[in-house]
Chain A
Amino acid sequence: MLITTIILIICGVFIPLAINKNSRLVNMFGAGSVITLCASIACIMIQRLFSEVNYQTVTNFFAIPIIILGIAGAIHSIGYLRGHWEHKRGLYWALYFLTIFGMFSVLEQFINQNIISALLSWEMMSLASAGLVGFDTKSKLSQRAFWTYMLASNAGAAFLMLMFASADSYPILCIIFMLIGFGLKVGFPILHVWLPQAHPAAPAPVSALMSGAMLNLGVFGILLCGTIFGRDHYSLIGYILVTLGIIGSVGGILFALAQRNIKTLLAFSSIENMGIISMALGLYFITIGYGACLQSCYLALAGAIYHIINHSILKGGLFLSAGSIYKQTGTLNMEELGGLMKRMPIIGRCFAINSVGICGIPPLNGFIGELLIYVAAFYGVIYGNTCIAAISATIAIMLALTGGLACAAFSKCFGACFMGEPRTEKAEKATDGSPFMTIPVVVLTLLTIPATFLAPLIFRAINNAFGHPTFMGNVQILNCAVMIIVLLYMVFGLFYFVHNYILPGGRKIRRGPTWDCGYAKPTARMEYTGTAFAQPLVDFFSPFLRSIRKITRVKSNLFPKEANYSIETKDAGTGLFWDPIFKCLSKIFNKLHELQSGSLHFYILIMVIAILIMLIWGFAF
């Protein structure tokens, strides 16, 4: 085992760094060792399923996203790196390998409770991924994202250390440290600031990996460490998680709706999905805290885990598609795209399926996860006591609002990028690109099929891993839901057949220009843009979003001249919370800077004062 690991590390880290020049060989070694690593972890996982000791099977649900996205990202990277960063490929692969290696060892060390190695691997994962976030050293945005991410992850690690330090004596403090430490990774509201900066800056495969697999590790940590505290504190953790989840999900999707950059939109949507997951986890903690309403409790946990897997698959596919778009057009700004469905048919179809899935709309896997959470919440309403009922009702209603807003956000994203006519020349020349970039996206999209139809099996597996009983009634729900989804496909097939082969009766489809109220030749300039699409909702929620509008008009006499309108929605966590704090801090430190005046007398005075204080301290205590 040890020797295999060492060989893998040499192949994955040192050889790519050494043979930086030969791009083909670097790709081979880099991708090869990542895939080998993922495959061997998969083997260990399968082996564990059949072993006696099964407390470790919990890690499977968090390892699956890493394996899937690790492999998909590695293959996608080969295409993504083509023509990018020729001289730094070795470094990319080394960091990529270390990120994945770090994530696996985080899982392993946390479940085996080796605290020191757990923290070390947590740090390794954060540092390696930070290197990837700031990989584009020439871009200012990327560097800023790098710093934010470094700050966030190091602060997170510091809070985790504090958590372990205070675990025995101050449980309440420990819970707060835990929620901040892991929350910085999960992206709870206010702690989420690194997400919308890091995701657009990082290379697409890395964003996919970070959003789909790394955020889950924070949830894993909360789930694992939260259960240590014992009954008395479960409800407290639960209430905090539900509150954070509600703010995160509704706030996240609202900000997603207002974005122009595809990857920023996806990053905010990750915050939303993590919010949904933490709502479900919160419900789980509250119900076991009360020791009541167990159906709701197990369902909520199963829903959260199921949603994690779904989110990984779907968001991975979306981020990789965004990477393909960036590679083809050189921009991530939705308003410069359009008409990509015709030019990138494979990516377009996958993007459509994934975005419907991530809104939680049937017949895709996203729905199954949300169904579990909804049923858990409504069971809480029906069977729970007043407190559980009130919390569950809030969760259900907020989940519904989130779902509706997610539909709007993703129809905006999909519509603006893929539908209509291309708005700029960049979009006009796009193609699907190399098979290295399309195949991972297609495979991830196809993975939604087993994730939908194996729902009852996965549900059982989740319950077994956590040692929860599986109620027949709950399995029945999933069986029926899957059956209706099959029915949906069958009815669709029937209608499609009738509509396309029987109804036309030999007549062909006629084509014509889009009817645009009498314009003979509508152009892309007349199309509704993404910003315009989202404008009513953004306006409606403007008190929360605080978008900045800019209208520039050229002064004209009789006939109006060209005018510009732009609207930008900046992250509220940065603008309203962190920026003032950091500004205040920098003011204080600037004041302190005056101490460093350069005059020797002043320094001596300071030293004397310091010695005096120490003397007084020493005598007094």
Chain B
Amino acid sequence: MYWFIYFLISLVAAPLLVGIINKVKAFFAGRKGPRLLQLYFDIFKLLKKDRILSNTSTIIMEICPIVNLTAVVVASALMPIAGYPSPLGFEGDIILFFYLFGLGRIATIFAALDTGSAFEGMGASREAQFSAIVELVIFTIITFLALISTGGFSLDLLLDVSITNTGVGLAITPLLLITLAFLIVLLCENCRVPFDDPETHLELTMIHEAMILDNAGPDLAIIHYAAALKLWTMSGFLVMLILPKLIINGFVTVCCYIIGIIVIGAFIGVVESILARARFVKIPQLILSAFTIALIAILLHSIFRY
């Protein structure tokens, strides 16, 4: 029941997170910034508009935004919250969880290539490159979670007990390192600074935005919403990773998690305000450094355990 409430909240509140990030960025820049609910207005406005498709495009372009949305929604339905596993969860759902994001990504890449635009091809190419390497980091993180797991391989078992398993004190360092690695993954997967600048206006420097140049109206609304929901879900994953198991009261738990997600949103805002977008050639190095961090975490954990 609490899980269901949380799921509904996350479906509704997901665009809010983007608003929070933008508010924080505006605060750092000394601007007033867009309203907190700006993305809701944008989505609502776009939904009312006509659908425009390119002459070149085919059925791929028509269905891919919906495939993307479906994948992200189902993935977010797999996320548990502390003590309340998702009714869809099963052993190994963590693989499905990340592969569903993969489905959304390949749908976006196909749609981008469908238009035959040079910029969209460029964006798709970059996305394909970075996501291939990010996959490496994600599964290293899952390996770490499996190592500290006490038996059982479902999202809720892996995430829920993470801090209780490593213990406190020095033994917590590997978990902190893993959190850092996942934070880098989160920034990359959701196209935030320093991997991609969501606010850039130059097509040549875009990744995600370049891939959706030819989407308009309801399609664009769907893509914006899916991106926001993905950010929310992955932030939820990060919160689960660092927060200890809370079995107090269902309502309090849900509140704690939502507050955690908001804090992460604010943190992303701070990161975006103080960092510049990295050069494209540097990005693989950044992702590989996350991979190294995750590997070090695994090694440290092995050392502490034995």
Contact = CB atoms under 8 A, between A and B. Distances in A.
Interface stretch (A7-15, A46-54, A527-535, A609-617): A527-535
A507 B51 contact: yes
A528 B121 contact: yes
Interface residues of A, number: 82
Q: Which of A480, A528, A534 has its CB near the most chain B CB atoms (within 10 A)?
A: A528
A511 B54 CA distance: 6
Interface string B97-117: 001101101100110011111
**Interface SS of chain B:** helix
Given A400-B139, A511-B53, A371 B132 contact: no
Interface stretch (A92-100, A168-176, A220-228, A513-521): A513-521
Interface string A487-527: 11001100110010001100111111111110000101011
Contact of B132 (A338, A404, A526): A404
Contacts of B96: 362, 367, 371, 481, 484
Given A403-B102, A488-B70, A514-B214, A420 B114 contact: yes
Interface in A449-478: 473, 476-477
Contact of B116 (A360, A496, A507, A522): A522
Interface string B134-164: 1110111011001101011100000000000
Given A415-B113, A507-B50, A540 B284 contact: yes
Contacts of B122: 528, 532
Contacts of B263: none
B58 interface: yes
A408 interface: yes
Interface stretch (A262-270, A379-387, A567-575, A584-592): A379-387
Interface stretch (A156-164, A178-186, A341-349, A433-441): A341-349
A236 interface: no
Nearest to A492: B70
Contacts of B146: 378, 381-382, 393
Contacts of A496: 63, 66
Interface stretch (B86-94, B178-186, B233-241, B254-262): B86-94
B242 interface: no
A361 interface: yes
Given A396-B142, A419-B60, A516 B66 contact: no
Contacts of A481: 90, 92, 96
Given A361-B102, A487-B74, A510-B51, 5 more contacts: A378-B153, A403-B102, A411-B110, A507-B50, A528-B124
Which are the 8 A-B pairs with shortest beta-carbon distances? A528-B121, A420-B116, A404-B132, A480-B90, A415-B113, A404-B135, A400-B139, A408-B128
Interface of B: 47, 50-60, 63, 66-67, 69-71, 73-74, 78, 88-93, 95-96, 99-100, 102-103, 105-106, 109-110, 113-122, 124-126, 128-129, 131-136, 138-140, 142-143, 146-147, 149, 151-153, 203, 213-214, 218, 222, 280, 284, 298
11 contacts: A356-B103, A359-B106, A382-B149, A393-B143, A499-B218, A507-B50, A509-B50, A514-B55, A527-B121, A528-B122, A532-B121
